[in-house]
Amino acid sequence: MSATRLLVLGVVRMYGKAHGYQVRRELLSWAADKWGNVQPGSIYHALKKMTADGLLEQVEDVEAGGGPDRTAYRLTEDGETEFVVQLGRALSSDDATGYSLSAAITFMPTLPRPQVLALLKQQLANMEAHAQSTHYAREHAVDLGKPPHVSELYRLWSVHADANVSWMRDLIGRLEAGEYVMAGEGDDENVFGAPPK
């Protein structure tokens, strides 16, 4: 699942029901176009496609304060399941672009802390393996590139891989120390991304 689809499902879930403009406005207010590669047109496409796939359903046309009527969407049972499954997958799986992990970090409070920690520890293992392979490639490659300055890319990739590992270790440590309110911890109304009651 793309970062856009995960974010759209998450925002619709968070509001209970939402129209396309509302989803777009929310995601752009988070700068998701920068860190999640979310483009306005892809939001509307995702809404239509996920409705066709049975993950969302149209619930009513809501009047937009003197503006045109807008179609509102809400998650179906399948949409709720898909959100949770894809959120877990994005928190734990290797993501070369970083977009899916960024989207998942946004909604990680919607899962219980022990589950998030287990998923992030899987992600950390992936990041550590990637860092090791990047270091190995840099240190053992005979011909890193022609022209010779292309070898700087290997150094850059190594530094990025190390930074990812360091950041993930820190995040896991903060979560283990109780930072952030997660699902199931008291009043779910204080959990970011939780659906309204």
> What string of DSSP letters covers 58-78?
EEEEEE-TTS-EEEEEEE-HH
Reported as type and span, the H/E element at residue 143 is none
Q: Torsion-angle region of residue 194: left (phi > 0), alpha (psi -120 to 50) or beta? A: beta
Cα gap 147→150, rounded to integer Å: 6
Tokens found for residue 76: 């179906």
Cα gap 138→157, rounded to integer Å: 9
| Average pLDDT score over the chain | 90
User: What is the rounded average pLDDT of the residues 174-191?
Assistant: 89
User: What is the rounded average pLDDT of the residues 94-112?
Assistant: 92
CA distance readout (Å), 4 to 35, 139, 147: 11, 37, 38
User: What is the rounded average pLDDT of the residues 95-99?
Assistant: 84
CA distance readout (Å), 128 to 44, 123, 124, 164, 174: 37, 9, 6, 9, 19
Whose CA is closest to 23, among 1, 36, 4, 37?
4
Provide the β-strand partners of residue 75. 56
| Alpha-carbon dihedral sign for residues 100, 17, 70, 59 | positive
**Tens-digit pLDDT profile for residues 12-37:** 999 999 999 999 999 999 999 999 99
Name the percent of the chain lying above pLDDT 90.
71
2 or 173: which carries more pLDDT confidence? Answer: 173
Whose CA is closest to 154, among 140, 168, 169?
140
Side chain identity, residue 94:
D
pLDDT at 123 over 60: yes
pLDDT of residue 66: 57
Least confident window among 52-56, 100-104, 123-127, 134-138? 134-138
**Tens-digit pLDDT profile for residues 126-181:** 999 999 999 988 887 766 667 778 778 888 999 999 999 999 999 999 999 999 99
pLDDT of residue 92: 96
pLDDT of residue 144: 61
